[in-house]
Amino acid sequence: MPSVVGLLEQHELAARRRVDGLREEADRIQAELATAEQEWLEWTIARERVGAVLSAQGGSSADVVGSDLPGGAGTEAGVKASVPVAARTKSQVPVWREGLDASGLSADYQRILAVLADRVRLGQGPLTCQEMASAFGMDVVPAKVEALRSKAKRLVARGWLAEPAPGRFTLAPNVNGPGGGS
């Protein structure tokens, strides 16, 4: 007859193997997601630039493409870039540029921008994701914090937020919170 401790060890080993397998699968999916998001971003930029070039009313195509860079780099006074007023619903986050309205972002992203805009207005420094979770009244548990971190990192990648130190987030220069006239 097998011992109770032996049976428990067998169950523990099986559970650990399952956890390891799921972690490997999650890592693979995260890498695949990052690649797919990058490809989507590249196609979005390509479509926006082609639209800007096709809708240009004078000026060279180099002026229009230069004015369409994230953060408004290369903007010239006489050239008006094709800037969408709002993003689609759900979790799509467009690359930030002058004139893009934060009200088109989903409620979660707007909440992050709003709390960071309040911090900037009060002259306070960047926030960690744990502090954001606490500010939103969420349980400060790994799942909630990592969900916030994922959203904050996406906002950093799209130019809405800056990460001056690892894990600490603030509004990017020239970005205002929702309703702040960004």
Reference 119, options 170, 72, 75; nearest CA is: 170
State the DSSP H helix or E strand holding residue 31, giving kind and residue range, or none if neither.
Answer: helix 4-55
- Both 127 and 72 in a single domain? no
Q: Could you count the other beta carbons within 10 Å of the beta carbon of residue 164? A: 9
- For the stretch 51-96, pLDDT in tens is 888 887 655 545 544 444 444 444 443 333 444 444 444 457 888 8
- Banded pLDDT at 148 (limits 50, 70, 90): very high
At 14 the pLDDT is 95
CA distances from 167 to 2, 29, 93, 114, 146 (A): 49, 22, 20, 18, 11
Q: How many helices (H) and strands (E) does the chain have?
A: 5, 3
Question: Which residues are bridge partners to 51 per DSSP?
Answer: none
- Both 91 and 172 in a single domain? yes
Find the domain containing 7 and state its range: 1-82
d(CA 39, CA 84): 20
The region of weakest confidence among 82-86, 96-100, 107-111, 147-151 is 82-86
Last-in-domain residue among 82, 114, 129? 82
The mean of the pLDDT values for the chain is: 79
Number of domains in the chain: 2
Q: What is the CATH number of the domain that holds 105?
A: 1.10.10.10
d(CA 42, CA 56): 21
Averaged pLDDT, 144-150: 92
Helical residues (DSSP H) of 56-106, grouped into ranges: 61-67
- Both 141 and 58 in a single domain? no
pTM for the model stands at 0.48
- Both 93 and 78 in a single domain? no
At 174 the pLDDT is 81
d(CA 124, CA 151): 21
